[in-house]
Copies of this chain bind each other. A is one copy, B any other.
Amino acid sequence: MNTLLLVLDLVGTFVFALSGAGVALRRRLDLFGVLVLSFVAGNFGGITRDLMIGSVPPEAISDWRYVAVSLVAGVVTFNFFPIIDRLGSAVLLFDGAGLALFAVSGTQKALDFGLNPIMAALLGMLTGIGGGMVRDVLVAEIPIVLRADLYAVAALAGAAVVVIGSLVQFPSAPATIVGATLCFGLRVMAVRYGWHLPVARPRK
């Protein structure tokens, strides 16, 4: 189970790092800027989660594989950007997968550290969306996470499955898989069908 989570966690880091590198390239940053945004997008969510639950140094800093995966994503994007950019929808799929996985693994980790269920789900959501938020702040944009179709709601739904599974003492492996699948499915459907949360009516 833990090996599965680690593999999926690294895959999530990789695809989020791809998104960071893509944003950096569209802003014409140099190679280093690309690598920094790759690392930030892939790891900031997890670092914040680890700091908040008192797990220091954060995994992204103490385990070299997170850095390695982020740098590989940055270099690959740097060299093959036109191709990756054309595969835009593939990246969206990967990104949804990363969101799903980070949300459930973040929730699980928070539960393991003894947080109460509601807070664990909240931290799981934060793990999923944190990297993308800072990525966008660093290029002086309003985070897409704050505006995208059901992005964080999908993360919250996945986290909720893990939390409820834990409350009813369901084995954590299948709960994690169901939660991740729900989050991924919601996000993909939202993108495909343009599902939105309501926006407040403008004033007269």
Contact = CB atoms under 8 A, between A and B. Distances in A.
Contacts of A139: 142
Copies per complex of this chain: 3
Contacts of A64: 116, 118-119
A7 interface: no
Contacts of A54: 56-57
A62 to B, nearest CB: 6
Contacts of A24: 146
Contacts of A51: 51-52, 56
B53 A56 contact: yes
A54 B24 CA distance: 30
Contacts of A56: 51-54
A33 B133 contact: no
A47 to B, nearest CB: 7
Interface string A120-132: 0011000000000
Contacts of A10: none
A170 interface: no
Contacts of A116: 62, 64
Contacts of A113: 57
23 contacts: A25-B200, A29-B142, A30-B146, A30-B198, A30-B199, A32-B146, A32-B151, A32-B197, A37-B146, A47-B52, A51-B56, A52-B58, A53-B57, A54-B56, A54-B57, A62-B115, A64-B119, A85-B203, A137-B140, A138-B143, A139-B142, A140-B141, A140-B142
